[in-house]
Structure 1
Amino acid sequence: MKIAIFDVSHWHFPLYLSALQDPGIEVIGISDSASFAGQKFADQLNTKLFASNEDLLKENFDFALVFSRHSDMAELAERLITRGIPFLIEKPCGLNLQEVSRIRHLSEERGVYVSVPFILRVSDLASRLSVSEGFAPDGYQHLAFRFIVGPVARYERGGCSWMLDKQYAGGGSTLNVGVHFIDLISSLTDSPITQVSAQMQTYRPDVTVEEQAAFTCRTAAGQIGVIETGYLYPSTADDQRDFAFSISHSNSYVRGFSDQFYRKSRDQQQGRSVTVEYNTDAYYSTFLRQSWADLRAGRKPLAGLREAEHAFAVVEAGYRSAANGGVPEQVQGTLE
Structure 2
Amino acid sequence: MKIAIFDVSHWHFPLYIPALSDPGVEVVGISDSEAFSGERFAQRLNCKLFDSNEALLEADFDFALVFSRHSRMAGMAKRLIDRGIPFLIEKPCGLNLQEVRRIRQLAERRCVHVSVPFINRVSDWASHLSPSEGFSPEGFQHLSFRFIVGLAGRYERNGNSWMLDKRQAGGGSLLNVGIHFIDLISSLTGALITHVSAQARTFRSDVTVDEQAILTCRNAAGQIGLIETGYLYPSTAEDQRDFAFSISHTSAYARAYADQLYVKARDQKPGRSTTVEFNTDEYYPVFLRRSWADLAEGRAPVAGLREAEHAIAVLEAAYRSAAEGGTPQTVERAT
Shared topology, TM-score over 0.5? Answer: yes
Q: Does residue 1:106 correspond to 2:109, yes or no?
A: no
Residue deviations 1:188-237, cap 9 Å, x none? 00000000000000000000000000000001000000000000000000
CA distance in 2, matches of 1:171, 1:58: 32
Q: Does residue 1:36 correspond to 2:36, yes or no?
A: yes
What's 2:94 paired with? 94
DSSP 3-state at the match of 2:14? helix
CA distance in 1, matches of 2:122, 2:203: 34
Residue deviations 1:97-143, cap 9 Å, x none? 00000000000000000000000000012110011000000000000
Residue deviations 1:8-36, cap 9 Å, x none? 00000000000001010010000000100
DSSP 3-state at the match of 2:326? coil
How far residue 58 of structure 1 moved from its aligned partner, in angstroms, is 1.0
DSSP 3-state at the match of 1:232? strand
What's 1:282 paired with? 282
CA distance in 2, matches of 1:312, 1:60: 32
Which residue identity lines up with residue 176 of structure 1 in the other structure? N
Matches within 5 A, 1:83-232: 83-232=83-232
Matches within 5 A, 1:280-319: 280-319=280-319
Residue deviations 1:159-191, cap 9 Å, x none? 000000011000001111000000000000000
Which residue identity lines up with residue 131 of structure 1 in the other structure? P
4+ residue runs over 4 A deviation: none
CA distance in 2, matches of 1:191, 1:313: 14
Which residue identity lines up with residue 203 of structure 2 in the other structure? Y
Which residue identity lines up with residue 150 of structure 1 in the other structure? G
CA distance in 1, matches of 2:201, 2:77: 31
How far residue 268 of structure 1 moved from its aligned partner, in angstroms, is 2.3
CA distance in 2, matches of 1:3, 1:276: 32
Work out the number of aligned pairs and report it: 335
CA distance in 1, matches of 2:325, 2:234: 28
CA RMSD of aligned residues (A): 0.6
Which residue identity lines up with residue 172 of structure 1 in the other structure? G
How far residue 91 of structure 1 moved from its aligned partner, in angstroms, is 0.1
CA distance in 2, matches of 1:10, 1:233: 20
Matches within 5 A, 1:228-243: 228-243=228-243
CA distance in 1, matches of 2:289, 2:124: 16
What's 1:323 paired with? 323
CA distance in 2, matches of 1:138, 1:230: 30
The alignment's TM-score, normalised by the length of structure 2, stands at 0.99
What's 2:48 paired with? 48
Matches within 5 A, 1:58-77: 58-77=58-77
CA distance in 1, matches of 2:14, 2:281: 10
DSSP 3-state at the match of 2:209? coil
CA distance in 1, matches of 2:19, 2:245: 29
Consecutive unaligned residues in structure 1, runs of 5 or more: none
Which residue identity lines up with residue 92 of structure 1 in the other structure? P
How far residue 270 of structure 1 moved from its aligned partner, in angstroms, is 1.5
Consecutive unaligned residues in structure 2, runs of 5 or more: none
Which residue identity lines up with residue 162 of structure 1 in the other structure? W
DSSP 3-state at the match of 2:287? helix
Residue deviations 1:273-329, cap 9 Å, x none? 110100000000000000000000000000000000000000000000001110110
CA distance in 1, matches of 2:115, 2:166: 24
Residue deviations 1:50-79, cap 9 Å, x none? 011011011111000000000000001001
How far residue 269 of structure 1 moved from its aligned partner, in angstroms, is 3.5
